[in-house]
Amino acid sequence: MQDQNEYFEHYYEDVPLEDDYLMLAPEIALLEDQTSYIESEIEINAENAIRTSKRKMEGDVLVVGAGISGMQAALDIADKGYRVIMLEKSSTIGGNMVKLDKTFPTNDCSICTAAPKMVEVARHQNISLMTYAEIMSLKGEKGDFTAHVFRKTAYVDPDKCTGCGDCAVVCPVEVINPFDDKLSKRKGIYIEFPQAVPIVYSINYENCVGCGSCERVCDAEAISFLQKSEDIEIKVGSVIVATGYDLFEPLEMRKEYGYGKYPNVITAMQFERLLSSFGPTEGKILRPSDGGKPESIGWIQCVGSRSKQLGFPFCSRVCCMYATKEAAITKEMDPDIDVTIFFMDMRAYGKDFQQYYDKAMEMGVNYIRARPSSVYQNEDGSIAVRYMDTHTREILEMNQDMLVLSTAIIPSKENPRLGEVLGIEVDNNGFFQSGSIVSDPIQTTRDGVYLAGCNQGPKDIPDSVAMASGAAARAIEAIIEREKVTPIPPPEEKDVSGQEPRIGVFICHCGKNINGFLDCEEVAEKAGEDGNVVYSINSMFVCSEDSQKEIREKIEEHDLNRVIVAACSPITHGGLFQDTLVESGLNKYLFEFANIRQHCSWVHSHDRPKATRKAMDLVNMAIAKSKLLQPLSQEEVDVTPVVLVIGGGVAGMKAALALSDMEIDTHVVEMSDKLGGNLNKLHSLFPTDQEPSELVTDLSARIEASEYVTVHLNTTLEELEGFVGNFKVYMKGPDGDEELEFGSAIIASGFGEIDMEGKYGYGSSPKIMTQTELEGHFKADDLEKPETVVMINCAGAMDEERPWCCRIGCGVSIKNAKLLKERFPDSDIYILYRDIRVFGKDEEEYFANVIENLKVKIIRYSEVEKPDVAIGEDGAITVKVRDQVYNEELELPADLLVLTAQTEGSESSVRLQEMFKIPVGPGHFFIEAHAKIRPLDLASDGVYFCGSAHFPKNLADAIAQAEGAASRAAIPIMQGIVKGEGITSSINALTCSGCGMCVEVCPYSAITLDEETGIAVVNATLCKGCGACAAACPSGSARQRGYRDNQILAMMYAMG
């Protein structure tokens, strides 16, 4: 038996944790700390190094920080043709997202969605990436900044390092690995993780003993202690700050939970690393104390958040969902493990979050509403959690084999220094201050410097990505006049027609994810037996940056004209390898994927021979198809440089203004007679109490003044034709019919309260109204003093019919309760709620203030015992409710009953869905292309969306999205050309009889019968490549390129 505890043997050893390794440059540290163990050789080198080399660089936008936000911002700008200089202080890009195992609510593999983006950043011709680099000063002004950057030497030449890892094998130094949050060790010379970008080993000066072992084994001669740090002067026009966040360390505060004292108490990030297949336990959930399997695991929520005294006052936004995800994944992996989450309010506020939470409960995740007071360790190493039962008020204890602390997103401790360097202000908590937290979240307090991601406040991944796109849009304004980079055309496409297929097969081990469950070497050998396979190899990570280099080299060396990668999934990684082919002068459609991870190694993990056999078959099928692959052409069309914005609410207005700043002609279409949307109905905004009319007036004036924006009021869309780059819409307006041609579109069609008729007595008394109607009374100032006000939250929400959370209702009810209390201080106000979901910046603080200082009473009810409204003959309203906290039945008389109504997407969603051919989900909210990393894109190219058309949103999130959508929509406009799909249908005119079957089945009206010849003709730009025509054609004349009959049948016959 293998000692399982080897995984954690180091955990309590006294190994120095290098954490703040960038606080001091090594040379300076060396001078300050002439410790004896450093060999004289290094001293000399350090003296050389202190004379850092200086260089100058020029770019258009500087992006500081290369996590998911920084990467998205950089790509959005680079795709528009401007030059980005990107700084990252650690040795790799990717940030925190790559450390996560999976992402909620879709359970996508986190690294698998992030890694292709990382490679895209690395290979983008307009992005210059510098790792180990920190900004030291920022002078100048918007449009003309000069930044000084210090780039610490890693003593490895990035141009020479091949990433082979021989150096790490011989390195005698072991340090605790911060990437695994201390759960593993790594060498003194290291890469953070196998898919790191750039894939260059680095030496941390603090850990290096100067033995020189690495230098001696490095065949590439990449290691040099003479390599200098650099002092770089960078000139740019705008700056985006995407420096991320820290996680709360419960060592000084929240010590009562035993972290650092009891081995089986870990943080949620450590738990993510345990779940991760490339983490310290390769995805096995094991107890740190003895490496055994835990029978029970508990989570404690709000560790470091929602407490002024013991951490930070704000809500960290993501912890409820990540704990739910971790617990649900645990349950999926092993239903025998008992999982319990101790929580205060379940903040499942986002799109599909509530449904995800409901599903977790169904799976057996146990939720206990309590904030545990303390924990202690039992003799067997398990942890006893003490908490108070909310019903009986008894103090209870529950044993957990492992305890996970859901630690909060907190401001980076670097922020004060960074704020000073960048000349931007930091807020009370230590996050960077926005121009306005509700109406201008992306702007910093310095012109020309913009924020993206969690350095402004806690956020989940899609909100960060949307904000990053928004920052990209804003950063363009100052550089719009600059000349764009002419794209370097890819190498000329090789003509492979008539050539015998020469196939290269690359089999990926994916660490142990594939090779751990099937024999990759055997699969590669078997593939090599095919007569057309001239090169076949198995390697560690085929998606890594250095593997792309290898694929290119092998294409060259063996004159390959087809490439197969057998690895994960074409959905996540297909594009990455296709780009590699294009870089080698091969048509991207000469690539074929064999999915041997998701469809094989991961689902047949207990039968190595059968999994290996299946992988061989899958590769064989890919080979069979590959032989028949043909290069496909993608039609290029010019783009009409106009954007259509649908909806004139705040999201539509902000999107239009962001486009206007980028000097793009924009048309805003609004159904009603004025701009402003739902804001026109509101009295004030949560959580700043700002009047929305000020904002609407300001935005309207700016739109009026813009020479790029045209507004069409009282106008509806009637018909749409065309495709990305060249759409044409027919509109009906006050002056009759209008036509408009445009290149891309933003849908900002908003949302509204559902019809409450019949719910909680709505409609039967003037004293029963919705929150929006109450706002109307505030605006009109016509409310009579009510003695008692009852608000019912989640009215019509989170039930079977409409299972989602309305996301904004809690905030609105608290704000309106405050307004009522301010007007009528003697009135009693009750808010009946299920969970209080105030998750945004300053929201928790606002809520705490209303409860503590204004004495608004909150009563929690349960989803199974909803409040009951009775109306007496005299019209008196009584609300009956069972208080979940005190477990008692209450009868509240209500002079005013306010319903916080469920919300849903605009009714126009259905029409827009048909027009733009985009999917709509529950509640008429559109479905994004990818829940995490493409939150603003829709399934149809050239169509984007923002604001509450996506899901109900508070203003700050809607505005960040609006500016982000503007950035997305501007990309095709600024590129000027779009490429069509290569997988389209064609008709063999010789055999077509003109029966018209294909015309009938085509959902895009892309096929017509030629008037003269009578045979079918495909409009390739309209064709989306579904292949319905090819299956319908009785004579086999309709063919789907890339999925022709012979290709599909060849796969079938090859399946073994």
Partner 1 sequence: MDEKSDFEPRILGFLCNWCSYAGADLAGVSRFQYPPNVRIIRVMCSSRVDPMYIVKALTDGIDGVLVAGCHPGDCHYIEGNYRARRRMVALDQILERYGLKDRVFLEWVSASEGKRFAEVITHVTEEIKKLGPNPHKKKWEI
Query: Does residue 222 bind partner 1 (CB under 8 A)?
Result: no
Long-range pairs, 326-329, Cβ under 8 A, ≥24: 326/268, 326/271, 326/272, 326/275, 326/299, 326/404, 327/297, 327/299, 327/360, 327/365, 328/356, 328/359, 328/360, 328/363, 328/365, 329/101, 329/102, 329/107, 329/275
- In the complex, least distance from residue 271 CB atom to partner 1, rounded to whole angstroms: 17
Contact by Cβ (8 Å): 960, 1018: no
Q: Judged by CB, which is closer to partner 1: 329, or 581?
A: 329
Q: Which of 296, 291, 309 is nearest to 385 (CA)?
A: 296
Instruction: List the one residue out of 452, 853, 848 whose CA is nearest residue 687.
Output: 848
Determine, following the binding rule CB under 8 A, whether residue 93 of this chain makes contact with partner 1: no
**Rounded distance between C-alpha atoms, residue 183 and residue 151, angstroms:** 29
Of 110 and 587, CB closest to partner 1: 110
User: In this complex, which beta carbon is closest to partner 1, that of residue 543 or of residue 789?
Assistant: 543
1025 scored as a contact of partner 1 (CB under 8 A): yes
Contact 904, 754 (CB under 8 A): yes
Determine which residue in the list 362, 483, 488, 606 makes contact with partner 1, applying CB under 8 A: 606
The nearest distance, CB 594 to partner 1, in angstroms, is: 10
Nearer to partner 1, 279 or 648 (CB): 279
Report the distance separating Cα 646 and Cα 271, nearest Å. 43
Residue 1055 in contact with partner 1, rule: CB under 8 A: yes
Complex with partner 1: residue 569 or 680, whichever CB lies closer? 569
If one asks whether residue 628 binds partner 1 (CB under 8 A), the answer comes out as no
Q: Which of 136, 127, 37 is nearest to 79 (CA)?
A: 127
Stretch that binds partner 1, among 31-39, 251-259, 607-615, 826-834 (CB under 8 A): 607-615
Which of these segments, 44-52, 251-259, 617-625, 902-910, binds partner 1 (CB under 8 A)?
617-625
Q: Which of 846, 1028, 1037, 1039 binds partner 1 (CB under 8 A)?
A: 1028
Instruction: Report yes or no: 215 and 64 within 8 Å, Cβ to Cβ.
Output: no
Q: Is 941 in the site for partner 1 (CB under 8 A)?
A: no
Q: Which is nearer to partner 1, 178 or 922 (CB)?
A: 922
Nearer to partner 1, 867 or 1042 (CB): 1042
Comparison of 226 and 1052: residue with beta carbon closer to partner 1: 1052
Q: 109 or 403: whose CB is closer to partner 1?
A: 109
Question: 1034, exposed or middle or buried, with CB in 10 Å at 0-12, 13-18, 19+?
Answer: exposed
Q: Tell me how far, at minimum, the Cβ of 613 lies from partner 1, in Å.
A: 8
Residue 478 is classified by DSSP as G
Within 10 Å of residue 732's Cβ, how many Cβ atoms? 15
Contact between 1040 and partner 1 per CB under 8 A = yes
Note whether 361 binds partner 1 by CB under 8 A.
no
Closest CA to 786 of 894, 900, 898, 899: 894
* SS3 assignment, position 901: strand
Hey, what amino acid is at 100?
A: L
Residue 339 vs 476, nearer CB to partner 1 = 339
Which amino acid, 204? N
Q: How far apart are CA 469 and CA 452, in angstroms?
A: 8
Residue 279 lies near partner 1 (rule: CB under 8 A): no
1041 binds partner 1, rule: CB under 8 A:
no
Between 980 and 1025, CB nearer to partner 1: 1025
Contact window for partner 1 (CB under 8 A) among 105-113, 723-731, 752-760, 864-872? 105-113
602 binds partner 1 (CB under 8 A): yes
Q: Is 1051 in the site for partner 1 (CB under 8 A)?
A: yes
Q: Rounded to whole angstroms, how far apart are CA atoms 708 and 945? A: 20
In terms of CB distance, is 136 or 603 closer to partner 1? Answer: 603
Sign of CA dihedral 666, 672, 675, 680: negative
Query: Using the rule CB under 8 A, which residue among 108, 414, 519, 775 binds partner 1?
Result: 108
- Minimum Å gap between C-beta 1056 and partner 1 is 7
Q: Does 336 bind partner 1 (CB under 8 A)?
A: no
Nearer to partner 1, 148 or 599 (CB): 599
- 391: exposed, middle or buried (Cβ count in 10 Å: 0-12, 13-18, 19+): exposed
Q: Does 122 bind partner 1 (CB under 8 A)?
A: no
What is the 8-class DSSP label of residue 639? P
975 lies in the site for partner 1, by CB under 8 A: no
**Residue 1052 binds to partner 1 (criterion: CB under 8 A):** yes
Paired with 904 in beta bridges are 752
Confirm or reject binding of residue 597 to partner 1 (CB under 8 A). Answer: yes
Amino acid at 474: R
Q: Which of 338, 1026, 1037, 1039 binds partner 1 (CB under 8 A)?
A: 1026
**Residue span 977-1016 as binding mask against partner 1, x where in contact by CB under 8 A, dash where not:** ------x-----------------x-xx------------
Using CA of residue 637, residue 643, residue 645, residue 651, what is the dihedral sign?
A: positive
Any contact of residue 603 with partner 1 (CB under 8 A)?
yes
Within 898-917, which residues bind partner 1 (CB under 8 A)?
Answer: 917
Q: Which is nearer to partner 1, 137 or 569 (CB)?
A: 569
Q: Look up residue 469 and give its amino acid.
A: S
Instruction: Determine, following the binding rule CB under 8 A, whether residue 598 of this chain makes contact with partner 1.
Output: yes
The interaxial angle of helices 608-628 and 520-528, nearest 10 deg, is 30
As a whole number of angstroms, the distance between CA 751 and CA 772 comes to: 12
Contact 829, 801 (CB under 8 A): no
Q: Residue 19 or 1045: which CB sits closer to partner 1? A: 1045
Closer to partner 1 by Cβ: residue 194 or 411: 194
Least Å distance between CB 595 and partner 1?
Answer: 7
Among 416, 919, 976, 1014, binds partner 1 (CB under 8 A): 919
In this complex, which beta carbon is closest to partner 1, that of residue 461 or of residue 768? 461
| Secondary element (H or E) of residue 251 | none
DSSP class per residue in 649-665: BHHHHHHHHHHHHTT-E
Residue 415's H or E segment, with its range, is helix 415-422
Question: x-or-dash pattern for partner 1, window 548-587, by CB under 8 A?
Answer: ---------------------xxxx---------------
**Token pair belonging to 509:** 């081990």
Using CB under 8 A, which residues numbered 36 to 65 contact partner 1? none
Q: Could you give the maximum distance between any two Cα atoms of the chain, in Å?
A: 96
**Residue 607, interface with partner 1 (CB under 8 A)?**
yes
Q: Which listed residue (142, 386, 599, 911) binds partner 1 by CB under 8 A?
A: 599
CA end-to-end span of the chain = 38
* Shortest spacing between CB 805 and partner 1, in angstroms: 18
- Can you tell me the distance from the alpha carbon of 953 to that of 951, in angstroms, rounded to the nearest whole number? 6
Helices (H) and strands (E) in the chain, counts: 25, 53
- Binding segment toward partner 1, per CB under 8 A, in 192-200, 326-334, 631-639, 963-971: 326-334
Select the residue interacting with partner 1 from 27, 181, 401, 617 (CB under 8 A): 617
Cβ-based nearer residue to partner 1, 228 or 1044: 1044
Helices 771-780 and 809-823 cross at an angle (nearest 10°) of 30
DSSP state of 644: E
What are the backbone angles phi and psi of residue 513, rounded to the nearest 5°?
A: -65, -30
Question: What 3-state class would DSSP assign to 905?
Answer: strand
Chain residues in the site for partner 1 (CB under 8 A): 102, 106-109, 112, 329, 332-333, 569-572, 595, 597-600, 602-607, 610-611, 613-614, 617-618, 621, 917, 919, 939, 983, 1001, 1003-1004, 1024-1028, 1030-1032, 1040, 1043, 1045, 1048-1049, 1051-1053, 1055-1056
